[in-house]
Structure 1
């Protein structure tokens, strides 16, 4: 809907200019035109919201917009009223709406819609918009997309807290080798860059039958991955191609340090599975076996 402007605002030339500038800013957003959005900003104008990690300008702001439009190609804003609260300050209410039809933070599209209300505090000047500060619930989009929103401390004493990702085959597997990598990211943006690369690497390996599984953890800037493979040869071949090869070449750009290694099994224990018939814990070799207590067939968990 159209932006509302009070009669008092229309009578004030300074206010009218500020409101008109903000209207152009939102029109450019609705047209998904990054160049037009930047054209409404002053030479040092900035944008900031709870997801940007601080003010962004110029190309960084344009990249943020493009990333949002890739994830939500039909992104639009339902605009509310624009209120002049000072000679150079405008408050703008809006609701962002769109469907997640593209990758979002390295994750595949969910096809789900989002609707996020918010408000922008906009400072203007004779040379354009000097500052936009957006306020909204940053956890609302992930929740609407079916993503986990984790609230926890970064660290307590010797314990560091973070998040993990697990990728498993639908059938039980016994890997021949495990590849282990740990790195300390250079900074917070590098953490996200490494996570995006890791997801892309996994996506590229899903069709490889020798790729058996993947576990990763992120605690602060410490990032650890363990991948399971059917053979050392398959692992070596996969590391030399695609995004993984690019990531190895760009290691110094995103990491403060780290190490990588490959492990082969030293001792292979039995599979364990609670028997659905009698409730006893069955021990067996291979992926299938029988409960020694009642003789029922059991199968290892994937």
Structure 2
């Protein structure tokens, strides 16, 4: 073998070796629709649907799945906050999730709210949690089975742990990075029109801010760039390339945000779970930041609330 071919072979082997950990992250935190259908009867498995459209679960869901409502189960309905420990503990018990359970989350709307669920599970230290790659959309598109009967699970015994503050960002954390008082990277995952201030929010959404634009210094990596046409996440190498093109390489702590925190949960999942970066999700997102008095913004479009 010539020296050039030998060297090329060595580099190819090294590249393949380096790719294994990244691919393993996908396997650790994602399951395919094919795998899930084959394993639905595994007693150590629990499937949880987290959809945002009302009545969707009742019309048909993955057989054996439990229904968890984002609006009432995973948020505090009185305070603008995540589900408190006791509330989330009740969710785990109702879904039959035990200490050794493997939990598969899925949902509608491109798994945005399932990703929020994964974030909450992570905050409270619940292990062996994965997302169904492609979510409900892919499951239905492939004609896989649906059920409209609910299964009552034996009460689960998994216990919540103290909330992991390292996974969540608050307004003061975002301001510290925006004002360069703290090192970090802000990733705005909304559409370009939201980021540039051309629109205040997507059509038809009720949660608004009176200012348009983005947090100063934030880079725009729209969540949709991370997935293929069928809603599955792109490969780790593709994800890295997408973020590196925006100057995000994992060398600094990252904060993701969107409008109310659900789309940014999806990007948080990609960055933290699939790429292994240090990432916090800012669930207050633009509805908090854009309405907060004294917080600086960047609004390239110059839009003003109430002005036509």
Q: What is the TM-score when the length of structure 2 is the normalising length?
A: 0.22
Whichever structure has more helix as a proportion of its residues is: 2
Structure of greater relative contact order (alpha carbons < 8 Å, 6+ residues apart): 2
Structure of larger gyration radius: 1
Normalising by structure 1, what TM-score? 0.22
